[in-house]
Amino acid sequence: MKLYNTLTRKVEEFIPNEEGKVRMYTCGPTVYHFAHIGNLRSYICEDVLEKSLRYAGYDVKRVMNITDVGHLSSDADTGEDKMVAGAKREHKTIMEIAEFYTKCFFDDCEKLNIKRPDVVEPATNCIPEFIHMVEVLLEKGYAYRAGENVYFDTSKLDEYFVFGNQNEEEQLLGARDDVTEDPNKKNRNDFVLWFTKSKFEDQALKWDSPWGEGYPGWHIECSCISMKHLGEYMDIHCGGVDNMFPHHTNEIAQSEAYLGHKWCNYWFHVHHLNDRNGKMSKSKGDILTVSTLEEKGYDPLAYRFFCLQSHYRKPLEFTFELLDNAGNAYDKLKKRTLQLLSAEGDADQAVFDEYKARFLDALGNDINTSMAITVLYDVLKADTNDATKLALVRSFEEVLSLGLLDAPEEAEKSEEDEALAAYVEEQIALRKAAKKEKNFAEADRIREELLAKGIQIRDTREGTVWEKI
Ligand code: AMP
Ligand code: ZN
């Protein structure tokens, strides 16, 4: 497989540390609010990456954290803890907020057919690991104490901006919200490993540490949680592009300082979903969620299809018109694939292998999902039997996960409802005609027959109405 590696800024052959095995890490959500469909674009693309690796034959272990402490309103360690702000907003405890939004996140993932990672670990589970890493960094001289916080000293590194090309403006991206200079820092890019002195005296979550009661910085979470479950060498680390700096840059700085060797070889970054105001962002407040899409009548999987039509390394513009187009194409595609479910006979192995290879090629070409979808359309047009097409769609679905072969229960139910409504209306019309002819016995018989079927009718001034009982 070939993947674009943000670290080398090249498309490269993906070679994991151990043959056939992939150790993969994903930055999880900060659970102070619903995930918006921009966040979920990242998780959809990462899901496709994981499934593509599995499809290509790798044994993947994927780990994700849940950020339930330490992520301040600016990624550069200033501002209020997002979890504390969320708890205040909703008059709940931080743990209630974390539990509620973690559940909402996974419910949304389920609706989008995003597989749950093998390991999901909330940051608040790993306080001893964070403290240990900070202790080692202090011992090795990579960290210092100032103003009662512990900071990472970026001047101790040969190279801090490992993702390169970061100009002054880009460096400030992480500090975009409310930049306040921290006078304790020796160097501008130093970051907090452990807070004890914070300007938020009401910080509810605090733990004992060798430096006093406090809480961890956000970046250290991902370094520790990934090492806890994946060991000292990781193959691929993912997140949205906004995580490159400072979050991933800091993760690399502290992990490699702690380990004394290279930590992760490949970095996979998903570009943003933008709306007309620019990057969709939780802090802007006006966000679209999976529930909003459902309320407006969209199938969440139509949104997944919308995301897969474009490449993860390009910003994606969101408008309802574009989603409508994707939704229409998705409905047509699904109608076509569902017809294959009645296919009989055997699949043609040679044709199957040929298209599967083309599909793998598309994925192996830096996860080219729109190309993979083109291969799917080519299968549907191909000169082969339906059994082969069905086998191929089923196989491609291991990665695309568009629900293309899931019978639409809801739609069937509503067709049933429509048929019932048509029948009842017909009986009401017949009863009305019977009454007009003064055939009351027939009118009563119709009423009784409907009642026996669980339908109650009532004559009102506006006409006859009915309900299921
Ligand atoms: P957060 O919950 O804010 O920590 O973000 C969760 C994930 O969503 C991270 O990987 C972010 O980089 C990513 N993300 C945030 N905003 C967007 C966006 N507008 N489009 C795509 N990914 C995003
Ligand atoms: Zn992270």
Nearest-atom index, ligand 1, CA of 30: 2
Pocket test of ligand 1: the residue of 27, 39, 49 to mutate, having most ligand atoms within 8 Å of its CB, is: 39
Q: Name the pairing type of β-strands 143-146 and 149-152.
A: antiparallel
Tokens of 208: 């004992």
- The predicted structure's pLDDT at residue 176: 40
Q: How far apart are the first and last CA of the chain?
A: 58
- The predicted structure's pLDDT at residue 71: 66
- The predicted structure's pLDDT at residue 412: 58
In which domain, by residue range, is 40 found?
17-270
Report how far ligand 2's centroid is from the alpha carbon of 135 (Å): 20
- The predicted structure's pLDDT at residue 175: 46
Nearest to 64 by CA among 25, 98, 22, 104: 25
* Residues 296, 241 share a domain: no
* Residues 66, 211 share a domain: yes
Number of domains present in the structure of the chain: 3
**Would residue 5 count as lying in a domain?**
no
**Would residue 277 count as lying in a domain?**
no
- The predicted structure's pLDDT at residue 178: 42
Q: For residue 196, give the 3-state DSSP assignment.
A: coil
* Residues 314, 197 share a domain: no
- The predicted structure's pLDDT at residue 199: 53
Instruction: Classify 366 in phi/psi space as left (phi over 0), alpha (psi -120 to 50) or beta.
Output: left
* Residues 373, 353 share a domain: yes
* Residues 188, 122 share a domain: yes
* Residues 445, 300 share a domain: no
What residue owns the CA closest to ligand 1's atom 9? Answer: 240
pTM for the model stands at 0.85
Query: Which of 270, 303, 318 corresponds to the end of one domain?
Result: 270
Tokens of 255: 């992990």
* Residues 167, 123 share a domain: yes
Nearest to 4 by CA among 251, 226, 312, 246: 312
Q: Which residues of the chain have pLDDT under 50?
A: 168, 173-179
**Would residue 278 count as lying in a domain?**
no
* Residues 197, 160 share a domain: yes
**Would residue 256 count as lying in a domain?**
yes
What protein residues have CB closer than 5 angstroms to ion ligand 2?
27, 222
Query: Listing from the earlier edge strand, what are the strands of the sheet with 316-317?
Result: 278-279, 273-275, 316-317
**Would residue 281 count as lying in a domain?**
no
- The predicted structure's pLDDT at residue 265: 97
Nearest-atom index, ligand 1, CA of 282: 3
* Residues 96, 43 share a domain: yes
* Residues 195, 149 share a domain: yes
Taking the CA of 44 as reference, the closest ligand is: 1
* Residues 165, 144 share a domain: yes
Pocket of ligand 1 (CB under 6 A): 27, 29-30, 38-39, 41-42, 67, 239-240, 242-243, 270, 272-273, 279-282
